[in-house]
Amino acid sequence: MSERPPVALRAEALEQLLTERGLIETQALDRIIADYETNIGPLNGAKVVARAWSDPQYRRRLLDDGTAAIEELGFSGSQGEHIVVVENTPAVHNVVVCTLCSCYPWPVLGLPPSWYKDPAYRSRVVREPRTVLAEMGLELADDVRIVVHDSTSEVRWLVLPERPAGTEHLTEEQLVPLVTRDAMVGVAKVQAP
C-alpha cells in the first residue's frame, strides 16, 4: 500500500477543520471540486484546441485575439483576462513558464500542476528548454526552434498544439479527449489515438 502524499493529507485535514467549525459545508467543497474538474480546467482548453483544429476561422480568431476567441466558447474569468495563444508547428515548438510565480490561464487549464510551480522548472526551462523537455519525455529534433513564453499577471499564454497526423477524419468532439494540459503548456505533444 502506497503512502498518501503530504499535500493530500494537508488538504484532508484542512477540509475536516473547516467543516467541523462550520465554516464550509462538505457539499460546497464538492461543488467547487466538481466545478474545477468539469467547468474550469483542461477540458475547457481541449475544447478550444479541438475547435481551432476543426474550424479555420476560429483558429485565426484564436491566434489573433486569444481572450476573445476563448470567451466565444464561454470560458473566461479570473486568471483568464488576457490570454495569448501561440501555435506549435513542425519548425517551432512553444513552451510556457512563469518565472516569477505560477501565473497560469485557469479558465482553460484549471489548476497549475505542481511541476509548473517548481523553482527548478521555472528557472531551467528558460536556460535549457530542450533538456527540460527531454527530461519530461518530449524529444524534439535539433532543427525545431523552441520558444519559451513567460506568463505574467498581465498576460497568460496557451499553446495551440500541432494536430496529430491521422486525425483528419475525427470530429471536434472526438478530438477533445486527445488534448492534454501538458500539450497546451508545451511540455508534450498530442498523440493520435
pLDDT at position 73: 97
Query: Known catalytic residue: 78?
Result: no
Catalytic residue, candidates 78, 102, 123, 151: 102
Dihedral sign, CA of 119, 94, 46, 154? positive
Q: Looking at domain 41-185, which CATH architecture does it have?
A: Alpha-Beta Complex (3.90)
Catalytic residue, candidates 78, 101, 123, 153: 101
Query: Known catalytic residue: 101?
Result: yes
pLDDT in tens, 96-122: 999 988 799 989 998 888 899 999 999
pLDDT > 90? residue 129: yes
- What percent of the chain shows pLDDT beyond 70? 95
Rounded to the nearest 10 degrees, how much is the dihedral formed by the CA atoms of 87, 183, 157, 176?
Answer: 80
Annotated domain spans of the chain: 11-37, 41-185
Catalytic residue, candidates 2, 54, 78, 98: 98
pLDDT at position 1: 45
Catalytic residue, candidates 76, 78, 103, 114: 103
Query: Known catalytic residue: 103?
Result: yes
d(CA 41, CA 119): 23
Average pLDDT across the chain, whole number: 92
Which of residues 4 and 59 earns the better pLDDT score? 59
Q: Which helix (H) or strand (E) holds 94?
A: strand 92-97
Query: Known catalytic residue: 2?
Result: no
